[in-house]
Structure 1
Amino acid sequence: MKLTDLETSFSSIPNDEKFIIDTMAKLYAERIKNNVSQQELAKRIGMKQPQLAKLEMLESVPTLKTLNRYAKGLGLKLEVGLVPI
């Protein structure tokens, strides 16, 4: 796949889904930065490790509630704001 194909593919994703993808990527980066294993985070948030792996691979689209659970497991809080368009 060429970079232009990837860019075209990404630009076709709805903005609300881009928000979820971006948020999940940031949460994943935080988990790695803090040396928290999937197993440990899953335990902290009451989820099974395979479920967490699917979220991180975006095999299932997480809800805001699930993103917030993930964030809380890392000692963070998810905030959603409004901006003019």
Structure 2
Amino acid sequence: MRTWKDIRENQTSIPKEELSLIDTLSFLQAQRIKQGISQTEFAERINMTQPQLAKIENLDSTPTLATLNKYAKGLGLEIKLSILPLETAK
């Protein structure tokens, strides 16, 4: 089975700006699965419908930061953002 890590290493069509969102969502989904929580159970836990959750996890819908925070909180996690200077080309 291919993982997001495998796909990410070989992809060229996803803009760099979107990769952090995909990485975050992939991590959160993996944590949900690791905790043995079904989509239906988790959707109820975070006050969402299962089809809404499926659309987010399948990247058919782009989640807002508020939605990502709700997802993380439902797993007992917290999202923290960092603002860093851009790396300069050498």
Q: TM-score, normalised on structure 1? A: 0.84
Aligned length: 78
Higher relative contact order (CA 8 A, sep 6+): 1
Shift of 1:84: 2.0
Give 1 or 2: higher helix fraction. 1
Deviating runs (4+, > 4 A) in structure 1? Answer: none
Would you say 1:9 and 2:13 are equivalent positions?
yes
Q: CA RMSD in A?
A: 1.4
* Sequence identity (%): 53
Secondary structure of 1:76's match?
A: coil
2:77 aligns with 76
Give the whole-Å Cα distance in 1 for the aligned partners of 2:56 and 2:12: 24
Kindly provide the CA deviation profile for residues 11-42 of structure 1, in whole angstroms up to 9, marking residues without a partner as x: xx141x21111100000010011101111110
Give the whole-Å Cα distance in 2 for the aligned partners of 1:68 and 1:62: 10
- Give structure 2 stretches of 5+ with no counterpart: 1-6
Would you say 1:40 and 2:52 are equivalent positions?
no
Q: TM-score, normalised on structure 2? A: 0.80
- Give structure 1 stretches of 5+ with no counterpart: none
